Amino acid sequence: NAGVTQTPKFRVLKTGQSMTLLCAQDMNHEYMYWYRQDPGMGLRLIHYSVGEGTTAKGEVPDGYNVSRLKKQNFLLGLESAAPSQTSVYFCASSYQAVYEQYFGPGTRLTVT
């Protein structure tokens, strides 16, 4: 039981490049989330999903897109990376709303 895994762990992009972050969970959770965390700050919710095929905007969705084609996977895309998107990205999942969230190890993204 791996829990929540994230791919890749580190990535450096140039401004304007695109990339996709992959999150996978093996706990059969309905809810999945993408957060970003900037130095010394709390986590901010980017997008979330309440089930396969659904997505919804969180607090800071601009510049990101997501997809949940399979229940176990939640993808976060950056179409045109900007230096302001330099951050650590965390994925999480939970069984239902207001249940314990399980977090992945994070992806450290640097945009130059």
Binding letters toward another protein, positions 77-106, x by CB under 8 A: -------------x-x----xx-xxxxxxx
Verify binding: residue 74, another protein, rule CB under 8 A.
Answer: no
Nearer to another protein, 15 or 54 (CB): 54
Contact present, 51 and 37 (Cβ < 8 Å): no
CB of 35 to another protein, least distance (A): 8
Verify binding: residue 62, another protein, rule CB under 8 A.
Answer: no
From the list 42, 64, 62, the residue with the least C-alpha distance to 109 is 64
Burial 61-92 (b: 16+ CB within 10 A, else e): beebebebeebeebbbebeebeeebbbebbbb
DSSP structure class, residue 85: G
Summarize as ranges the residues that interact with another protein (CB under 8 A). Answer: 4, 31, 33, 35, 40-45, 48, 50, 56, 58-59, 90, 92, 97-98, 100-106
